[in-house]
Structure 1
Amino acid sequence: MPRFNTLKSEAAWRELITTDKDWKAADANMLRSLLVSMHLIRAFEEKVLELAGQGLVHGPAHSAIGQEGGAVGSALPMRASDQVNGSHRAHHQFLAKTLHYVSPEGLDLAAPVNEKTQWLLQKTLAEILGLDQGFCRGRGGSMHLRWAEAGVLGTNAIVGGGVPFAAGAAWAHRQAGTGDTTFTYFGDGAVNIGSVLETMNLAAAWKLPLCFFIENNRYAVSTVVDEATAEARLSARGQAFNIPSWKVDGMDPLAVYLATQEAMEVMRRGDGPTIIEVDVYRFYHQNGPMPGSAFGYRSKDEEKAWRERDPLDLVATKMIERKLIDKDDVQSLRHQAQQAMDKAAAELLDMSGKKPAIHDHLWPSRDFVDALVRGDLSEFDGAHYAEQEQFIGKFEERKFIDAVAGVMNRRMEQDERIVVMGEDVHRLKGGTNGATRGLSERFPDRCLGTPISENAFVGLGGGLAMDGRYRPVVEFMYPDFMWVAADQVFNQIAKARHMFGGDGSMPLVLRTKIAMGSGYGSQHLMDPAGIFSTSPGWRIVAPSTPYDYVGLMNAALLCEDPVLVIEHIDLYNVKGPVPTDDLDYLIPLGKAKVLREGNAVTVLSYLNMVHQSLEVAERLGVDAEVIDLRSLDRDGLDWETIGASIMKTNNVLIVEQGSVGTSYGTLLGDEVQRRFFDYLDQPVQRVHGGEASPSISKVLEHAACAGPEEIEDGLRRVLAGQGQPL
């Protein structure tokens, strides 16, 4: 018979239950702030539901009535410099943090509403109504609330989607050594999301001061937590990742407060993340002013039992017992909170008609719709630009991959804000291809090898960029991995600047390499340009020479927008001139380059296909003008250079290597034909790979990708269309 040893987790896991002694010992001013905050939040949420019932809230109204104790109990121990983010149900968390921020000395029970709190309530309500005076100028609404100054990183409509961003802020706190912390709030529905679990693992491995605050309200819309997991004590997740965890009654705000204080001690002394699970109950349905029982998924008796445990009533009762207040004080507080919300709504609504309506002048201007999808590039004012032909100085022949490593070493040497992260970037003499050579030896605290968890580490990079203190450079070993982290890449990083009304920037660089021809098969070899070009917010650069790589990477690292830098494995060992003493020059974003002049056809291409196009045109003797696009995002296409060429040649051939399904040429061809239709002698012609992604078989891989044969065929088609067959 085998012998068994009982194994135990190293992580502490405790349930915290308050006693009468705790309530008697609780600071009176803290209890006053606790009660006032909860009443202001309750009145706020009731007003939101009232307006939603009148059809004045466009979109959802996820109220947190009943859950105020968890938010306020956790916010009161925070410093102003501690940060939070949350999920779609976050009005209470946003207000708990910001009320504490505008009134750091505490809230006055006798006069709970002052000029600052009234301003805060109205501005938050304006955002939920989608108005220009809101924190995100109406773009965020109920689910996307951000006030960076007060420490609110931004709430999130994707379940669990904001958790990796919180890890980025926590990493910045750890690196700064301030003892500040980050709290990421989410519900029972998010606990089983991959990005949440990945981030728990990463935060524990890197000892980040991050609290995973779980509001277990038992229902993900109508799905009961017991149906979703075999371990309904959600704080048990900490046992898997060696994270100390607390389970508390969230209807007892003092219990939450005390657990938060204990968790703060762990995080502030540098011992890594914590988990706090609070059992709470939303008194209403997932969205809107109806109770859950109206939809049949829970009973009226259940709702009644939880309402009898209202956290506002509990705190008031305990304070009355201590003779800190009386019942009249509670009624006065309730009345003043409701008056404050009536006043906030009155400022926003026109009551002159039969039904209340929002004042027309408060809506954002329609002209604001596309503003701040990206920044205005004003950060480039005075930048040192230098194309290779105009560069004054000495050159040396260097491999492309050496230029990649060289410029990153130079930038990290010059800018302590740059942090490089990705799988194996710290080992193997510079990652899998040598692109990060020398970085881990020179900058060990800023060259971070990550677990294999793209959701967590690219999201952490997004949070780090949004925090504003660092400029992350994240590597996807292969571009196909973007699908693993698609929420972070496209829903979070790409949309953040616009979604939050332009409040803040997103200076993140994402590096990846196309490896067609390497035999890695269908899930490693795609060209991501076509996908990223459809995502508002991303800038895309694709350097084809070592010299251009240095200049474009320098530009990417200066840019306040997220920039995808695409490399190609075929170019890594190609040599080209690189300055010997100057790796600080920039090449402008949005500037294409004519590499070969011609009059018969304009060839538009990027990366390795630029060189193949040049070689085929030379071999065939075709009078082709070859343009290296270099910048591929919609905002970065150089229509001045492209247009001048088209008006001269009247024919266009777009050349790319990858699959037609995710083709970049789809966007580019459409734009060319709409902009220059009158100058074209024939439809835009294209060279691209097949429908299928590349296979492992060398023969099938070659057949799936475009190459010299396909370029030659494309040129012949264009010239045949002109009656000039080769």
Structure 2
Amino acid sequence: MPDHRPLQPASPWVQVVATDADWDAADPALLRTIYAQLVWIRAFEQYVLDLAGAALIHGPAHSSIGQEGGAVGSVLALTSEDSVNGSHRGHHQFLAKALHHVEPKGLDPLAPPSDDVREVLLRTLAEIAGLDRGWSHGRGGSMHLQWKEAGAMGTNAIVGGGVPQAAGFAWAHRQAASDAVSVTYFGDGATNIGSTLETMNLASAWHLPACFFIENNRYAVSTTVEEATGEPRLSSRGPGFGIAAWKVDGMDPLAVHLAMTEAVERMRRGKGPTVIEADTYRFFHQNGGFAGSAFGYRTKEEEREWRARDPLTQTAAQLVRLGVLTEDETAQAVAQAKAVMDEIGSVLLEPDPDGKPGQRRIKSAEWPDTDWVDVGVRGDLSELDDAPVVADEASVSVAETKFIDAVATVMGRRMETDDRIVVMGEDVHRLNGGTNGATRGLTDRFPGRVLGTPISENAFAGLAGGIALDGRFTPVVEFMYADFMWVAADQLFNQIAKARHMYGGTGGVPLVLRSKVAMGTGYGSQHSMDPAGIFATSAGWRIVAPSTPYDYVGLLNTALRLQDPVVVLEHVDLYSTSGPGPVDDWDYCLPVGRASVRRPGSDVSVLTYLGMTPYVLAAVEEYGEVDAEVIDLRWLDRASIDWDTIEESLTKTNQVLIAEQGAIGTSYGGWLADEIHRRFFDLLDAPVWRVTGGEASPSISKVLERAAIAQQDEVVAALAEIARY
């Protein structure tokens, strides 16, 4: 028989219970603040449910009633310098942080609210109602609340979606030599999400000051914790990743505060991340003002038992027991908060003259201007006002340069001149510059700023998104292959791409994603895609596709100045090639939205990009019967396409061929052809011609891979067809 030796987790895992002695020992000012916050948040949430019941809230109203104790108890252990983000059920988290920011010395439940408190309540209510007065001018609504000045970095509608960003905030705090911490609030459902678990692992590996605060309200909509996992003690996730964990009664705000104080102290001492599981209960259904029992997944008896442990009534009882407040004073605080919420509501609402008696409507002046609908999808490029922008190669001394050398050299130059830049990705810190040499020499030159990551694209892409939202640093993320964007699709497309617009259009998201295209190298269907067509559908991303060393340097320099996320596409075919590159000027920028005419011509305009550009130029030379003008697009996103150059070329040629390598299903040229037809129909003598890869993804077989992608031969065939037209 083998010996069985019990193993103990390397990190502590404890349950914290507040006793009457803890209440007795607590600072009365802290207890008054706890109660005041609970009262204000409860009154706010009840008012939101009233508006939702009157159809004055467009969209969901995910009430936090019953769960306020966890948010209040934890936030009061933080400062304004600390960051928080939260879930779709995040009103209480946001309000607790915002109220603590404007009243850092504490709230008194009996004192009339300050103008700052009223402003927080008014702007939050306006945001939830989708009004211009809101924090994000109504764009975020109930599920996307952000006030960065207060350290409230944004609640999130994707379950687990905000968790990786919180690790980014934590990294930025530590890199800035601050002792600030980051707290991410999420529910029991998110503890089983890949992005959450990936981020716990990454935060532990990097010893980040990040707290994973689990609000275990026992139901993911209607699915119980016991149904969703074999270990319903969700704080157990912590020791599994080497993270210290606390389990606490979330209906007891003082117990939460005590646990959070211990966790924050540990993080501020540089002891790495923490997990807190607060057992709590939402009194209503997932959305709206009905009890869960009305939908059959909870019993009324269970709801009564939890309501008997309401954090407001428990806290009020303790304050009365301690003589901090009388029963009449606790009732007075509740009445005052309700009256103030009615006053605040009257700022936004008015009687509806066409409705029933007592019916209200939103004041017309409170709605956002519809002309503002797309403003802020991306920035206005004012950050380039002082950039050393050049028009063409004639402005820079060039010499024959190996493409991959240009990649590594310009990245080194940027890190040398801007200590805000940090590079991360799989193996970028090893192998003499990653798998292709793009970060060669950078690890030794810039210790702590070239970060080799675990294989967890969702986590480290989201972490980079958090760093970008924080704004103090500029992350450069490397995806070893472009296909891996599907693994991180939530962070790339739901989070990073939408953040600027969703949160009001003013805050930047400075992030560069370097993504490698490897078709033609035998790496098969899951390592060979061209993602340009996918990124082009996602408003918010800018896309650059350099085909020469000169272009790479100028485009990367521009990308790293932008306050928008930029994906820099790199083709493996180009890494080993040589072409014009800078001799001694590694700082120049190429203008946003400027294509390059690689070859003038008069018969057809060929639009191409990235690794297809050399194949097109070779095809035009091989097939001499068509005088083709070859335009290397360089910028591929909808906002940055060089329509002026395309129109000027079409005015001469009156027909256009779009040539790309990738599969037809994810084709970049599909939307571009449609747009050209709409914009330049009168200039065209023929429909838009196209060269793409086939329907199938490239496979491993050399001959089948070649048949699946487009190269020089396919362009020659297209030119021959155009000649016969």
TM-score by shorter chain over 0.5:
yes
- Aligned residue for 1:472, secondary structure, equals strand
Report 1:270-669 matches (<5 A): 270-353=270-353, 354=355, 355-393=359-397, 395-621=398-624, 622-669=626-673
Q: CA deviation at 1:333?
A: 0.2
Q: CA deviation at 1:18?
A: 1.0
Deviations 1:629-686 (A, max 9, x none): 0000000100000011011100100000010000000011011111111111110000
- Aligned residue for 2:540, secondary structure, equals coil
Distance 1:476 1:380 in 2: 26
- Aligned residue for 1:509, secondary structure, equals strand
Letter of the structure 2 residue corresponding to residue 645 of structure 1: S
- Aligned residue for 1:142, secondary structure, equals helix
Contact 1:348 1:358 in 2 (8 A): yes
Q: CA deviation at 1:316?
A: 1.0
Distance 2:413 2:203 in 1: 29
Over 3 Å counting, the alpha-carbon distance change for 1:33 and 1:503 in structure 2 is farther
Q: Does 1:104 align with 2:104?
A: yes
Distance 1:324 1:616 in 2: 85
Distance 2:604 2:580 in 1: 28
Q: CA deviation at 1:392?
A: 4.4
Q: Structure 1 residue aligned with 2:716, among 704, 712, 718?
A: 712
**TM-score normalised by length of structure 1:** 0.98
- Aligned residue for 1:634, secondary structure, equals coil
Distance 2:503 2:14 in 1: 37
Distance 1:597 1:98 in 2: 59
Letter of the structure 2 residue corresponding to residue 332 of structure 1: Q
Distance 2:377 2:68 in 1: 34
Distance 2:352 2:605 in 1: 62
Report 1:85-104 matches (<5 A): 85-104=85-104
The gaps in structure 1 that reach 5 residues or longer are: 722-726
Contact 2:393 2:550 in 1 (8 A): no
Distance 2:506 2:333 in 1: 34
Distance 1:406 1:253 in 2: 54
Q: Tell me what 2:699 maps to.
A: 695
Distance 1:30 1:333 in 2: 16
Q: CA deviation at 1:352?
A: 4.7
Q: Does 1:123 align with 2:123?
A: yes
Q: CA deviation at 1:50?
A: 0.3
Q: CA deviation at 1:109?
A: 2.5
Contact 1:112 1:333 in 2 (8 A): no
Distance 2:143 2:78 in 1: 23
Contact 2:67 2:281 in 1 (8 A): yes
Q: CA deviation at 1:41?
A: 0.2
Deviates more, 1:103-112 or 1:399-408: 103-112
Q: Structure 2 residue aligned with 1:677, among 663, 669, 681?
A: 681
- Aligned residue for 1:495, secondary structure, equals helix
Distance 1:515 1:249 in 2: 52
- Aligned residue for 1:586, secondary structure, equals coil
Letter of the structure 2 residue corresponding to residue 587 of structure 1: L
Q: Tell me what 1:724 maps to.
A: none
Distance 2:690 2:388 in 1: 36
Deviations 1:555-597 (A, max 9, x none): 0000000000001111111111222211000001210011111
Contact 2:391 2:591 in 1 (8 A): no
Runs of 4+ in 1 over 6 A off after TM superposition: none
- Aligned residue for 1:338, secondary structure, equals helix
Distance 2:495 2:393 in 1: 39
Contact 2:58 2:129 in 1 (8 A): yes
Q: Please, what is the CA RMSD of the aligned residues? A: 0.8
Q: Does 1:256 align with 2:256?
A: yes
- Aligned residue for 2:215, secondary structure, equals strand
Deviations 1:430-483 (A, max 9, x none): 000000101111112000000000000000000000000000000000000000
- Aligned residue for 2:246, secondary structure, equals strand
Q: CA deviation at 1:112?
A: 4.4
Q: CA deviation at 1:719?
A: 1.9
- Aligned residue for 2:211, secondary structure, equals strand
Letter of the structure 2 residue corresponding to residue 678 of structure 1: D
Letter of the structure 2 residue corresponding to residue 464 of structure 1: I
Deviates more, 1:609-618 or 1:20-29: 609-618
Q: Structure 1 residue aligned with 2:690, among 686, 696, 703?
A: 686
Distance 1:577 1:386 in 2: 15
Contact 2:475 2:510 in 1 (8 A): yes
Letter of the structure 1 residue corresponding to residue 374 of structure 2: D
Letter of the structure 2 residue corresponding to residue 89 of structure 1: R
Q: CA deviation at 1:503?
A: 3.7
Letter of the structure 2 residue corresponding to residue 288 of structure 1: G
Distance 2:283 2:706 in 1: 61
Contact 2:508 2:563 in 1 (8 A): yes
Q: CA deviation at 1:397?
A: 1.8
Report 1:128-277 matches (<5 A): 128-277=128-277
Distance 1:217 1:109 in 2: 27
Q: CA deviation at 1:344?
A: 1.1
Distance 2:352 2:376 in 1: 35
Over 3 Å counting, the alpha-carbon distance change for 1:429 and 1:326 in structure 2 is same
Contact 1:63 1:284 in 2 (8 A): yes
Q: CA deviation at 1:390?
A: 2.2
Distance 1:151 1:690 in 2: 49
Q: CA deviation at 1:396?
A: 2.9
Q: Tell me what 1:81 maps to.
A: 81
Distance 2:238 2:175 in 1: 23
Deviates more, 1:350-359 or 1:210-219: 350-359
Deviations 1:529-553 (A, max 9, x none): 0000000100000000000100000
- Matched pairs, number: 720
Letter of the structure 1 residue corresponding to residue 568 of structure 2: V
Q: Tell me what 1:54 maps to.
A: 54
Distance 1:13 1:130 in 2: 42
Q: CA deviation at 1:249?
A: 0.3
Contact 2:140 2:504 in 1 (8 A): yes
Contact 1:113 1:336 in 2 (8 A): no
Contact 1:687 1:714 in 2 (8 A): yes
Q: CA deviation at 1:3?
A: 2.4
